[in-house]
């Protein structure tokens, strides 16, 4: 397989790099844009990216996007993460864009995909207090009433619901023997009466939310895809979801590495740069090797998806999510250790990179669940 980038892709990466250097290249800029790291999304930066036509990278041109590939989207995620661009709303948006592109009606595509290309954020709510890894056990109900639906229940860890235009809620429309049957995806605009969005305090700042639904009304045309086919639709989106999360973390691992290299060359102890100690050199060499393998795997899975977007890739999608997030977490913890006390201090970005990386092996299916899925593909 040829993993080299086209000239156009190289230019795209360069442009994102220059943008990030200019807009969020210094700590002062990042503190201003994130309210001293309390927020992970900045609408101004996001708007500028929309103007540059970057947010619609995978959206067809007829809906206002630029009609790019999954590999283009991965390059965007990788470079914006590496550049520490505060666009935390984008990952869930891209997941929703993929589902809409696959299952949306013409009207929905115009509204949702067009909105995303212009800079809207979208959220997706699956997880519930009693349905985490076992997401099929979800109970938030959508009852058919007067040709539409009425939603009741509770979701947890819904990232970006507080800044999203809509939340795509996975709910139970029919009770059946199999927990995977009878689920439906329904759009709920953020300010809908009866849907309460309550922040969850996390070590990552303001990113995720509880959602409470009390008699929330949704019209029939708020359904994405088919009623009762939500599980199949979720499964069809897993390739993209897992790859996007991997690409985002790849950029974080690269940033860890970039910052670490600068630091170990500058910091002197015992009269010499700490990077001259073989103990550190070997660990940095291993980190570089692991990051390279993460990059290759991300590009490999992106290429497989681009070759045939309808092919299900449970093994490869779980492998890339597992491999890249675990490598990133290891790299960030090693980066902190190799920077000593300064890696732990908020003066440097390393401690924030550690926090970001820790969540990545939990959301989007934990590492344990990814291992279960991979094992299952071998008949285990």
- Cβ neighbours around 346 below 10 Å, total: 11
Determine, following the binding rule CB under 6 A, whether residue 368 of this chain makes contact with ligand FAD.
Answer: yes
Q: Within 173-202, which residues bind ligand FAD (CB under 6 A)? A: 202
Stretch touching ligand FAD by CB under 6 A, among 23-31, 140-148, 153-161, 300-308: 153-161
User: Least Å distance between CB 297 and ligand FAD?
Assistant: 21
User: Least Å distance between CB 123 and ligand FAD?
Assistant: 6
User: Least Å distance between CB 142 and ligand FAD?
Assistant: 16
How many chain residues touch ligand FAD (CB under 6 A)? 22
- Cβ neighbours around 269 below 10 Å, total: 10
| Closest to ligand FAD by CB, 302 or 373 | 373
| Closest to ligand FAD by CB, 155 or 295 | 155
DSSP per-residue string spanning 195-253: EEEEE---TT-B--EEEEEEEEEE-GGGEES-TTBHHHHHHHTHHHHHHHHHHHHHHHH
Q: Which of 23, 207, 241, 334 is catalytic?
A: 241
Determine, following the binding rule CB under 6 A, whether residue 363 of this chain makes contact with ligand FAD.
Answer: yes
Residue linked to tokens 């290429």: 303
Report d(CA 139, CA 305) in Å as an integer: 32
Determine, following the binding rule CB under 6 A, whether residue 240 of this chain makes contact with ligand FAD.
Answer: no
* Alpha-helix residue ranges (DSSP H) falling in the chain: 7-24, 27-33, 43-51, 70-82, 90-103, 106-108, 114-118, 230-236, 238-266, 278-307, 314-338, 341-344, 350-360, 367-376
| Closest to ligand FAD by CB, 84 or 264 | 84
Residue nearest to ligand FAD (CB): 132
Question: Using CB under 6 A as the criterion, what x/- string covers residues 154-173 for binding ligand FAD?
Answer: ---xxx--------------
Annotated catalytic residue 241: yes
Tokens of 355: 């926090």
Determine, following the binding rule CB under 6 A, whether residue 126 of this chain makes contact with ligand FAD.
Answer: yes
Identify whether the C-beta of residue 322 lies closer than 8 Å to the C-beta of residue 370: yes
**Pairing status of strand 223-224 against strand 183-189:** antiparallel
Stretch touching ligand FAD by CB under 6 A, among 110-118, 124-132, 285-293, 311-319: 124-132
| Closest to ligand FAD by CB, 275 or 364 | 364
Determine, following the binding rule CB under 6 A, whether residue 19 of this chain makes contact with ligand FAD.
Answer: no
Determine, following the binding rule CB under 6 A, whether residue 325 of this chain makes contact with ligand FAD.
Answer: no
Report d(CA 165, CA 114) in Å as an integer: 12
Distances (CA, A) of 210 to 120, 126, 191: 21, 11, 15
C-alpha triplet 372, 58, 296: angle, nearest 5°: 50
Q: Which of 89, 115, 153, 365 binds ligand FAD (CB under 6 A)?
A: 365
Determine, following the binding rule CB under 6 A, whether residue 238 of this chain makes contact with ligand FAD.
Answer: no
| Closest to ligand FAD by CB, 51 or 368 | 368
As annotated, the active-site residues are: 241
Sites of contact with ligand FAD (CB under 6 A): 92, 124-127, 132-133, 157-159, 202, 207-208, 359, 362-366, 368-369, 372
């Amino acid at each position: 397989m040829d993993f080299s980038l086209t000239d156009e892709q190289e230019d795209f990466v360069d442009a994102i790099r220059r943008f990030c250097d200019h807009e969020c290249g210094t700590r002062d800029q990042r503190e201003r844009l994130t309210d001293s790291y309390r927020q992970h999304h900045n609408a101004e930066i996001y708007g500028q990216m929309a103007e540059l036509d970057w947010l619609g990278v995978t959206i067809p041109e007829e809906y206002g996007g630029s009609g790019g590939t999954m590999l283009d989207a991965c390059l965007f995620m990788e470079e914006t993460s590496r550049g520490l661009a505060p666009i935390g709303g984008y990952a869930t948006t891209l997941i929703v864009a993929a589902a809409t592109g696959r299952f949306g009606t013409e009207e929905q595509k115009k509204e949702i995909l067009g909105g995303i290309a212009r800079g809207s954020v979208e959220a997706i709510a699956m997880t519930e207090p009693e349905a985490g890894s076992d997401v099929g056990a979800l109970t938030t109900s959508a009852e058919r009433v007067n040709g539409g639906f009425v939603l009741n229940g509770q979701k947890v860890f819904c990232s970006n619901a507080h800044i999203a235009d809509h939340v795509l809620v996975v709910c139970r429309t029919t009770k059946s023997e199999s927990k995977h049957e009878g689920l439906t995806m329904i759009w709920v605009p953020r300010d809908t009466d009866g849907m309460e969005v309550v922040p969850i305090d996390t070590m990552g700042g303001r990113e995720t939310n509880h959602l409470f639904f009390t008699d929330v009304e949704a019209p029939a045309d708020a359904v994405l895809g088919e009623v009762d086919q939500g599980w199949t639709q979720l499964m069809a989106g897993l390739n993209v979801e897992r790859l996007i999360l991997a690409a985002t973390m790849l950029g974080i691992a690269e940033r860890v590495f970039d910052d670490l290299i600068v630091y170990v060359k500058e910091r002197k102890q015992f009269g010499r740069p700490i990077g001259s100690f073989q103990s550190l050199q070997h660990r940095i060499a291993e980190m570089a090797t692991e990051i390279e393998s993460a990059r290759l795997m991300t590009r490999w899975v992106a290429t497989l998806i681009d070759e045939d977007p309808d092919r299900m890739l449970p093994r490869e999608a779980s492998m890339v999510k597992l491999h890249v997030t675990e490598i990133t977490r290891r790299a960030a913890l090693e980066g902190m250790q190799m920077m000593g006390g300064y890696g732990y201090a908020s003066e440097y970005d390393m401690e924030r990179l550690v926090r970001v990386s820790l969540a990545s092996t939990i959301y989007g299916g934990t590492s344990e669940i990814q291992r279960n899925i991979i094992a299952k593909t071998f008949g285990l």
